[in-house]
Amino acid sequence: MACRLDYQNTTVIDVTYRCNATCRYCQWGNKSNPRGVHRPLTDILLPIETIRALGTQRVVLSGGEPRIHPELERILNHYRNLVEDVIVITNGYGLDSAELQRLLDSGATGITISLDSTHPDEALATRQTPQTLHAEIISDLKQISKRTRTFELGINSVVSNPTANEATVRDLLEFGSELGVDFVKFQPVFDDGYASHNAPDLLLGEADVPELLRIADLLDEMRRPQTNPPGFWTNLASVALRRPLAPESCGLGPRHAIATAGKMNVCYWVDSTSFGMQSEVPTSAEARIVRTNFELAKLGCKVGYHCFCNQNISHEWRTKGASVD
């Protein structure tokens, strides 16, 4: 099916901060985290007036692991008639045919699987996914790909030190191509303080630059579905070398929103441009003002790995000064 990932007005909604995975770079799999709770429905179920004011066409349910929220079916049902597409991001644990059908019957129009690598040793190193479970996820994806699809199917992959190499990227793109997925979207591991404390070996650095540039050079030779352009990989190399990227080239603003921790923002990190609390209903005029203000506010940002998360899959940052070559 046609992938509308890059042109729909999108609102990302965190539905839970609990997860049944234990990814080393993510705090939500840490069972001792006091913030690891399900979000209340009053925050998750945005009213139709908010959806219209934001111009939302695509709702992405994120977390944590959305599939473990006890009210997921109600959440999906709420959005199925409000927007064009409702996407569930999932770690893929237990995503067999019956579970997939449950999601589709409840209102999901797309499933995005978080998969950093097809190699079990790398999955263990980054996400602590046991080899048997990793094999099960791969097998379930192959079964899903055999269905006559009327739903979007994509892969999200976090790029970290173990996976920032040409072989891993090539194999994942070829796997996606074999499955016929609509896209493979890469984004770098970013550090909100958790990764540097618990898994500093996963963070990207200068030693990763040669492989990042190699991926950029060879990307057009790889068999692949829709994916990030070569400029994405040179952007990662720039940030790994602590070279600044131009904040004015940020792609958020015109069609993005994120609902997280009770608030609605254009960008989670720019708190000064907020649509308000999730329980509040902005008008279309207020939403336009917020987005206009964001265009000014982002000029003061320092671009980091966290800035890559919700950008379009086709997004490329402009460099400040000399680019990496």
DSSP 194-261: HHHHH-GGGS--GGGHHHHHHHHHHGGGS--SEE--HHHHHHHHHHHTT--B-GGG---SSSEEEEET
Instruction: Answer whether residue 149 shows pLDDT above 80.
Output: yes
Type of residue at 188: P
Q: What token pair was written down for 217?
A: 């050079």
Higher pLDDT, 141 or 2: 141
Rg (the chain; Cα; Å):
19
**3 state DSSP class of 184:** strand
Reported as a single tens digit per residue, the pLDDT across 215-247 is: 999 999 999 999 999 999 999 999 999 999 999
Asked if residue 144 has pLDDT above 90, the reply is yes
Report angle CA 189, 38, 186 to the nearest 5 degrees.
20
Q: Which of 293, 241, 272, 309 has its CA nearest to residue 10?
A: 309
Is the pLDDT confidence value at 29 over 90? no
pLDDT value of residue 70? 97
* More reliable by pLDDT, 193 or 289: 289
Q: What is the pLDDT of residue 303?
A: 95
Q: What is the mean pLDDT of the chain?
A: 94
Whether residue 291 is predicted with pLDDT greater than 60 in this model: the reply is yes
Using the predicted structure, report yes or no on whether residue 3 has a pLDDT greater than 80. no
User: Stretch 264-289: mean pLDDT, rounded?
Assistant: 93
Asked whether residue 325 carries a pLDDT value surpassing 70, the answer given is no
Q: At a CB cut-off of 8 Å and minimum separation 6, what does 53 contact?
A: 281, 282, 283, 284, 286, 287
CA pair distance 212, 284, nearest whole angstrom: 41
What pLDDT does residue 89 have? 98
- Is it the case that residue 308 has pLDDT exceeding 90? yes
- Domain 10-308 is classified in which CATH homologous superfamily? Aldolase class I (3.20.20.70)
Instruction: Find out whether 140 and 96 touch, Cβ atoms under 8 Å.
Output: yes
Percent of the residues in the chain that have a pLDDT greater than 70, as a whole number = 98
> Is there a contact between 302 and 245 (Cβ–Cβ < 8 Å)?
no
For the whole model, what pTM was predicted?
0.95
